[in-house]
Amino acid sequence: MLTPPTTPPTVDPTPVTTPPTIVPTPPTTPPTTPPSPPSKVPIGSSNPLPEIAFNSFLSNFFKFFITIILYDYYITNI
């Protein structure tokens, strides 16, 4: 007796749901500029070192002081 070939029931395969692929965007960083080398401040600029300012103050003070003493000495001995 011939039995008809039994075909397995057709089951629709459920499509595999893949999560949407999100391409991560790199964080936007500002362009990094290389640090400039420290510039040497020339003497006599608008921002002198404190030692230079103090030395010039002392020299001016002593010039003024000696001038006053010599002037006073000169006046009193005339």
Question: Residue 69, class by beta-carbon neighbours within 10 Å (0-12 exposed, 13-18 middle, 19+ buried)?
Answer: exposed
- For the stretch 13-72, pLDDT in tens is 665 666 667 766 666 765 566 556 556 655 555 665 666 677 888 889 999 999 999 999
Q: Which two tokens stand for residue 75?
A: 């006046």
Residue written as tokens 């964080």?
A: 27
0.75 surpassed by pTM: no
Q: What pLDDT is attached to residue 68?
A: 94
Distance CA 52, CA 43 (A): 8
**Do 49 and 58 meet the contact criterion of CB atoms below 8 Å apart?**
no
